[in-house]
């Protein structure tokens, strides 16, 4: 193997890791919601697209960069997610899965069409000063925007981990996830905890949207692709596992980058799905998921 090839390999892995961190944050929201409420959010990609549009509007109309708008977008998503759970999703907990699926699919269609009606079908991207910047570390070149997004994603994941392990509400949510009946017996307000969880999941995906718009432009039709991607990541990592979502994101990010380098770039998505099939065959609970058996 030549030096040039090894350098390209290292460059591709670095790029895959950076993209994978944002993927991980996106999938984290899906995993948190499923892990606690056992509800699969089929409107996940659509929620991320809404987050991307909000970040784009922030820059376009108020000259606030996506990174600065991120906390506000996450807060808006938290409130919206909380309200959505209390108003719509809550009555469906415990109902047959196909009903939950249809409900969230309807929400997804509403969101996409709202984006289409408000922003139109055209691709919208943000132009930031850092858009053309990169950092050089030895022979490796790191894309500045991707690096900023990845660092922000790691910081958000860290805050989330601290919330779930250090705060009373976080511990209560984990307790409710582990033992629903037990949580009710000890007097936890499980309905409120579920709404908070949905709000947190939505905030994660909103934040991921604000970061993603700095990397790629948005169109309403992007939503399906990201819902699918989030599913691939959480299934590979393990549905319901936070670590699994993050590691799944990294794995998919790196596999796409390597497939692009070693094979044909236009075939890179094929490798994500190949990985998904392998995991489903060999370890159906995902790499970091707990076995249901």
Contact call for residue 129 and another protein (CB under 8 A):
no
Q: Which of 143, 203, 229, 239 binds another protein (CB under 8 A)?
A: 143
Environment class of 120 (CB within 10 Å of its CB; exposed 0-12, middle 13-18, buried 19+): exposed
Joined tokens for residue 63: 């000259």
Least separation in angstroms between CB 282 and another protein: 27
| Residue 276: closest CA among 248, 240, 246, 236 | 236
* Nearer to another protein (CB atom), residue 133 or residue 178: 133
Q: Which of 117, 136, 185, 292 binds another protein (CB under 8 A)?
A: 136
How far the first Cα of the chain sits from its last, in Å, is 44
Total residues in contact with another protein, by rule CB under 8 A = 36
Q: Which of residues 153-212 bind another protein (CB under 8 A)?
A: none
Q: Which of 131, 165, 167, 179 binds another protein (CB under 8 A)?
A: 131
Residue 210, H or E segment: helix 190-212
Contact call for residue 123 and another protein (CB under 8 A):
yes
Least separation in angstroms between CB 229 and another protein: 11
Q: What secondary structure, in 3-state letters, does 189-201 show?
A: CHHHHHHHHHHHH
Q: Which of residues 240-269 bind another protein (CB under 8 A)?
A: 256-257, 260-261, 264-266, 268
Phi, psi angle pair for 134, to nearest 5°: -150, 160
* Nearer to another protein (CB atom), residue 194 or residue 271: 271
Contact call for residue 128 and another protein (CB under 8 A):
no
Contact call for residue 4 and another protein (CB under 8 A):
yes
Angstrom distance (rounded) from CA 28 to CA 233:
9
Angstrom distance (rounded) from CA 205 to CA 86:
18
How does 65-86 read in b/e, with b if 16+ C-beta sit within 10 Å?
A: bbbebbeebbebbbebbbebbb
CA 71 to the chain's CA centroid: 16
Contact call for residue 274 and another protein (CB under 8 A):
no
Residues at the interface with another protein (CB under 8 A):
4-5, 7-8, 11-12, 15, 19, 120-123, 125, 127, 131-134, 136, 141, 143-144, 146, 215-217, 219, 222, 256-257, 260-261, 264-266, 268
């Amino acid at each position: 193997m030549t030096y040039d090839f090894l350098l390209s390999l290292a460059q591709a892995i670095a790029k895959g890791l950076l993209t994978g961190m944002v993927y991980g944050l996106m999938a984290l929201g899906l995993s948190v919601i499923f892990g606690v409420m056992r509800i699969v959010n089929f409107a996940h990609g659509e929620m991320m697209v809404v987050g991307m549009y909000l970040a784009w509007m922030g820059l376009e109309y108020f000259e606030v960069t996506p990174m600065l708008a991120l906390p506000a977008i996450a807060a808006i998503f938290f409130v919206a997610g909380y309200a959505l759970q209390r108003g719509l999703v809550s009555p469906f907990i415990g109902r047959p899965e196909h009903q939950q699926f249809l409900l969230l699919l309807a929400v997804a269609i509403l969101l996409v069409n709202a984006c289409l009606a408000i922003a139109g079908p055209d691709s919208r991207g943000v132009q930031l000063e850092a858009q053309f910047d990169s950092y050089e570390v030895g022979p490796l070149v790191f894309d500045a925007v991707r690096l900023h997004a990845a660092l922000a994603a790691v910081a958000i994941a860290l805050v989330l981990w601290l919330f779930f392990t250090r705060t009373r509400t976080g511990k209560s949510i984990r307790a409710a996830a582990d033992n629903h009946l037990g949580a009710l017996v000890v007097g936890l307000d499980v309905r409120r905890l579920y709404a908070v969880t949905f709000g947190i999941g939505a905030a994660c995906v909103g934040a991921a949207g604000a970061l993603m718009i700095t990397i790629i432009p948005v169109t309403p039709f992007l939503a399906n692709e990201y819902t699918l991607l989030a599913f691939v990541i959480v299934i590979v990592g393990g549905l319901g596992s936070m670590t699994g979502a993050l590691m799944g994101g990294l794995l998919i990010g790196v596999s796409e980058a390597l497939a692009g380098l070693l094979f044909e770039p236009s075939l890179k998505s094929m490798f994500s799905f190949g990985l998904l099939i392998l995991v489903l065959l060999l370890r159906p609970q995902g790499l970091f998921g707990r076995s249901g058996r």
